[in-house]
Structure 1
């Protein structure tokens, strides 16, 4: 998602050390004290998970030196990186997540198309735009190198075809309630294996789970999470949707657009360090709110519709929920595929291009 470029650009006063380099990695592995004596402060260690035992030496050094911002640690294998940080550097670090571009970043770079489906299918990884790489080529390489090689090695996958199939099955369930038993059965693996594989995909920022909102409602509410992909370009690649027109004709259009919009809220929440809680809500008879975010004690309701034509009944989920908790509702918003905003009696109509909290 552009970590190296970001670090080199915004922390140009820091030395940059890439531990993918075999000679550098050997130095750090064979002589960690000498390595840290040479790179003693204001250094970026990229792909630092490649030298896991270095974290213990870093712990000693930062405790002795007491220099704020002494090191910046970056890595693409988040699972290994976080595992080592929590073991050796807990309480000594600030953690930052860098997700693919959000809409405002795309607009700033003049890369955002007015057709939502073009952006959705193409995806939001920087290399696609910066290097003008066709999205199909980019995601083919991404899946083969990062998803299939790195992740399958991480969890010791014996049958790569089965792991590939599992990821594709996850893609077909994007925007749906996560049923691990069903997913495991269809893939031919055990439920604990499915749970483990989902966990690694989450740790690696391939997928995430949106949790349901709970409260003391009279009706029974859904307690299962929903599964989403961090990048819709990867999602479309896995679903073999290769152009914008195919997005619009797909039976999964609604789920794809929902994933796209919720991603935008997730990214803005992370990128702006808002630390807001995000949920969805659904009851046993099918009433649903696609996204809920909380501001202090007040709730903000989001309905997501893959349509440019706004009909009154599109607000019915928001209206139903508002009747359950009228004293808690701060705003109701319908996000759609068009380019216009409106203020209606039932709530605000917002374009996908102008999503704000």
Structure 2
């Protein structure tokens, strides 16, 4: 087995801050994003259990309150969504013992959050850990080519253990389909659902059209919506909503689709190496996915919700990414090209003219070598993104 290298995660400082304020820390995120490694590293003296193990679940259920009380001074419960009945016991213990400390992790946002909102509201700090960000990878992204970065995605084992991304993605996909989906959905035709996921990969960076997918797959629109919700709850896909701000009905209303990992997206598209990716018609969309995802990672790693959108009106004027901070708007165009052209800033200028002075920054994020840091029509290589405070 390859020796694993530990990478510092940016979420660690937020975990440290909140653990002094809350008795319960909840860390959600995709499978294999590093939740267990982070929590066991940071809370190294805590007792650890993994509820993926059926025998562990059975053991805990024999006397749940007694077990939790025994380890109330520090307990990590991995994949806690498997035993939501524990949350009520944790609530009682936390209310009775102010020195108790629990860390819960989970890869099913729906199951985990449902139990937490019912039993631990106001008692738990909730954080999200996504796969590795470019800044967490550090020097590695300076040393690797763009296609390698896109193909590898952000799952830690690819970077720290050197496991080929095709193996990681295939095992992730098989495990997810065979286990998680069967738990969350009563899918009679699993082949059709597999086709649905692959069709979503082919629609990266485009507006989600449930009717079109319904017709293509031969299932109802409500079924498509349900399947998409499960992919979101399982941290496979996320939606980027359209931007609205009192500028009428000119704007589109459908969200755009992206994947939480570009390595998994490449796998679903049948892209096996950098040579295939370099000439693939969706390379630009995958590059856009990576950049948009970096903004989500930056927000979640600070323990903050993302206020991120895209802009498109009926005349097809589009800006790839809008970040809203109070009344201020930061607009970004994402281009996979290495050479800058004036056409890159055309939509940014249009957006500034339509929205007005609230647009405080317009930037192009691309793959070129020259960085120009400017509040108006700046340009920056994706490896050097400077996020606004």
TM-score range normalised by the length of the shorter chain: over 0.9
State the Cα distance separating 1:91 from its structure 2 match: 2.2
Distance in 2 separating the partners of 1:310 and 1:353: 16
TM-score by length of 2: 0.87
Residue 88 of structure 1, CA deviation: 1.9
Structure 2 counterpart of 1:37, from 69, 91, 109: 69
In structure 2, which of residues 266, 277, 280 is the aligned counterpart of residue 250 of structure 1? Answer: 280
**Aligned partners of 1:253 and 1:140: how far apart in 2?**
20
Q: Is the 8 A contact 1:171 1:238 kept in 2?
A: yes
Gaps of 5+ in 1: none
**Match of residue 206 from structure 1:** 236
In structure 2, the residue matched to 1:7 is 39
Aligned 1:175-324 pairs, distance under 5 A: 175-217=205-247, 220-324=250-354
Question: Is the deviation greater in 205-214 or in 71-80?
Answer: 71-80
**Aligned to 1:27, which of 49, 55, 59?**
59
- 1:284 is displaced (CA, Å) by 0.3
Query: Are 1:101 and 2:101 matched, yes or no?
Result: no
Q: 1:354 — aligned with what? A: 384
Q: Residue 50 of structure 1: CA displacement?
A: 2.1
SS at match of 1:41: coil
- 1:276-298 CA-to-partner distances (Å, cap 9, x unmatched) read 41110000011001001123311
Map of 2:50 onto structure 1: 18
2:122 to 88, 91, 112: 91
TM-score of the aligned structures, taking structure 1 as reference length: 0.94
| Residue 129 of structure 1: aligned partner | 159
104, 107, 112: which one pairs with 1:73?
A: 104
Inter-partner Cα distance in structure 1 for 2:248 and 2:103: 50
Superposed, which structure 2 residues align to 1:153-192 within 5 Å? 153-192=183-222
1:175-218 deviations in Å (ceiling 9; x for gaps): 00001111122122111111111111111110111011112225
Conserved 8 A contact 1:112-1:119? no
Quick one: distance in 1 between partners of 2:384 and 2:74?
38
Quote the residue 2:182 is aligned against: 152
CA distance in 1, matches of 2:263, 2:341: 29
Secondary structure at the aligned position of 1:95 is classed as: strand
Q: Which residue of 2 aligns with 1:117?
A: 147
Secondary structure of the residue aligned to 2:125 is: coil
Does the Cα contact within 8 Å between 1:113 and 1:119 map onto a contact in 2?
A: no
1:181 counterpart SS class? helix
- Alignment check: 8 A CA contact 2:153 2:261 kept: yes
More off after superposition, 331-340 vs 137-146: 331-340
Deviation at 1:80, TM superposition (A): 1.8
User: How far, CA to CA, are the matches of 1:256 and 1:333 in structure 2?
Assistant: 19
Comparing 29-38 and 124-133, the one that deviates more? 29-38
Write the distance in 2 (CA, Å) between the matches of 1:148 and 1:182. Answer: 26
> Any idea what SS the aligned residue of 1:74 has?
strand
Q: How many angstroms apart in 2 are the aligned matches of 1:275 and 1:224?
A: 20
- 1-structure distance, mates of 2:221, 2:132: 34
1:274, 1:19 → 2: CA distance?
Answer: 28
User: Larger relative contact order (C-alpha < 8 A, sep ≥ 6)?
Assistant: 2
| Residues 220, 284 of structure 1: 8 Å contact kept | yes
Q: How many residues align?
A: 355
Alignment partners' CA distance in 2, 1:23 and 1:219:
56
Higher mean displacement: 29-38 or 206-215: 29-38
CA distance in 2, matches of 1:268, 1:244: 26
2:125 and 2:148 map into 1 onto residues whose CA distance is: 36
Shift of 1:136: 0.6
Pairwise CA distance, 1:6: 0.7
Give ranges in structure 2 of 5+ residues lacking alignment: 1-32
Question: What secondary structure, in the 3-state scheme, does the structure 2 residue paired with 1:286 have?
Answer: coil
Structure 1 residue runs of 4+, over 4 Å off?
A: 343-346
Q: Compute the RMSD of aligned alpha carbons.
A: 1.8
